[in-house]
């Protein structure tokens, strides 16, 4: 009997620009790949494809591409057979492609800066996967390490079922990665930021229930 192993699809979504969607998408995909779970990232923002620009010539980030806006389903179905995870870097402001990406996903990650966690934008960001009936979690990003706010946030986040325990701190090495067309595990291997994304990847694996690493030769059994 033939058994088809398909990837889990995760949309990284946030209505506000500058909320670390692309940073989260690229570095989470890199961490999952490093851990042996083949992962491909599709950039759904055809107007401003930041993930594709981050890829550069593809020497280090060959697992990033722009989604085919005319026929995204074919891209998705083909990639599902070759990977453990697909990551969707979605456009801001909930453009049409953002909704399409969420509807095509299995899970949704909402990166959120501490500066507007309690603002209406965060509520809007949560409402979209809720309406789509997609499991979602909030990822706190760009947190200042060692600050009173950061410590209070860590304590608060630990009590929230809708939030990851992992927190991504605001570090210069992360900001330098796009200019070098590398994810943080390549540009600053062993750094705090690298370890934070590995911890996030472990949480994502547990959250999504993925237990098997897909090998190219095992995509069809």
CATH number at residue 76: 3.40.50.300
* Structural domain contains residue 2: no
- The mean pLDDT of the chain is 86
Give residue 202's domain range: 8-208
From residue 60, how far is each of 57, 83, 84, 110, 179 by CA, in Å?
8, 18, 19, 26, 12
Q: Which residues contact 50 (CB under 8 A, 6 or more apart)?
A: 22, 43, 89, 178
* Structural domain contains residue 116: yes
Mean pLDDT, residues 17-40? 95
Q: Which of 221, 46, 7, 26 shows the shortest CA–CA distance to 109?
A: 26
Mean pLDDT, residues 129-138? 93
* Structural domain contains residue 173: yes
* Structural domain contains residue 14: yes
What pLDDT, on a 0 to 100 scale, did the predictor assign at position 66?
A: 98
* Structural domain contains residue 144: yes
Q: Which of 85-89, 141-145, 192-196 has the lowest mean pLDDT?
A: 141-145
> Which token pair is 69?
């806006």
The pTM (predicted TM-score) of the whole model is 0.89
* Structural domain contains residue 182: yes
What's the total number of domains in the chain? 1
Is 187 within 8 Å of 173 (Cβ atoms)? Answer: yes
What pLDDT, on a 0 to 100 scale, did the predictor assign at position 162?
A: 84
* Structural domain contains residue 136: yes
* Structural domain contains residue 137: yes
Separation between Cα atoms, residue 35 and residue 29, nearest integer Å: 10
What pLDDT, on a 0 to 100 scale, did the predictor assign at position 127?
A: 85
């Amino acid at each position: 009997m033939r058994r088809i192993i398909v990837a889990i699809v995760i949309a990284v979504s946030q209505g506000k620009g500058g909320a670390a969607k692309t940073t989260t998408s690229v570095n989470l995909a890199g961490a999952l790949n490093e851990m042996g779970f083949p992962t491909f990232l599709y950039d759904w923002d055809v107007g401003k494809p930041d993930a594709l620009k981050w890829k550069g010539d593809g020497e280090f980030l060959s697992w990033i591409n722009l989604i085919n806006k005319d026929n995204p389903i074919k891209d998705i179905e083909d990639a599902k057979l070759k990977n453990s995870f697909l990551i969707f870097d979605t456009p801001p402001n909930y453009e049409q492609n953002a909704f399409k990406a969420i509807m095509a996903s299995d899970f949704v990650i909402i990166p959120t800066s501490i500066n507007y966690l309690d603002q209406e934008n965060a509520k809007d960001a949560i409402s979209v996967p809720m309406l789509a009936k997609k499991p979602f979690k909030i990822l706190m990003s760009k947190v200042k390490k060692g600050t009173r706010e950061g410590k209070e946030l860590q304590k608060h986040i630990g009590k929230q079922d809708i939030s990851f325990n992992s927190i991504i701190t605001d570090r210069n090495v992360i900001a330098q990665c796009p200019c070098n067309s590398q994810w943080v595990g390549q540009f600053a291997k062993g750094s705090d930021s690298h370890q934070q994304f590995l911890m996030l990847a472990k949480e994502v694996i547990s959250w999504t229930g993925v237990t098997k690493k897909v090998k190219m030769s095992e995509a069809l059994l």
